[in-house]
Amino acid sequence: QVQVEESGGGLVQAGGSLRLSCAASGDIYSMNMEAWYRQAPGTQREWVASRVSGGATNYADSVKGRFTISRDNTKNTVYLQIDSLKPEDTAVYYCNIRARRRPGGILNDYWGQGIQVTVSS
């Protein structure tokens, strides 16, 4: 059993900052990749940022330079630091973790339920 839970969302003024947390719990042996997605009303869910265990990160063009994904390996927590928020960043943000539950086991994707980020102008 693996559970993923986001926290840290809320209402922020444009230009402000926010840090989202994604806590993974349960039977996780290793995390292979972490990613954040978001979905605004009336739109498809889009990829925002990803990180692999070696530390390499990738970002969507719309957030590059403003968003930072990181991981605390001591507690299986993934973060998304969001700076210089824009109204178009308003969306439900989802955490995705690709992980093994045992050595040599299959990689599975685990998703959080999403958390609302609202940016006022």
pLDDT tens track for 8-40:
999 999 999 999 999 999 999 999 999 999 999
Residue 91, pLDDT above cutoff 90: yes
Is residue 105 over pLDDT 90?
yes
Residue 73 has pLDDT above 90, yes or no: no
As given in the structure block, the two tokens for residue 61 are 């063009």
Q: Which tokens go with 49?
A: 């940022």
Question: What is the model's pLDDT at position 42?
Answer: 93
In whole angstroms, give the CA distance from residue 46 to residue 26: 27
Q: Is the CB of residue 17 less than 8 Å from the CB of residue 80?
A: no
DSSP letter at 69?
Answer: E
Asked whether the predicted pLDDT for residue 1 surpasses 90, the reply is no
Q: Are 23 and 113 in contact (CB under 8 A)?
A: no
Average pLDDT on 68-94 reads 95
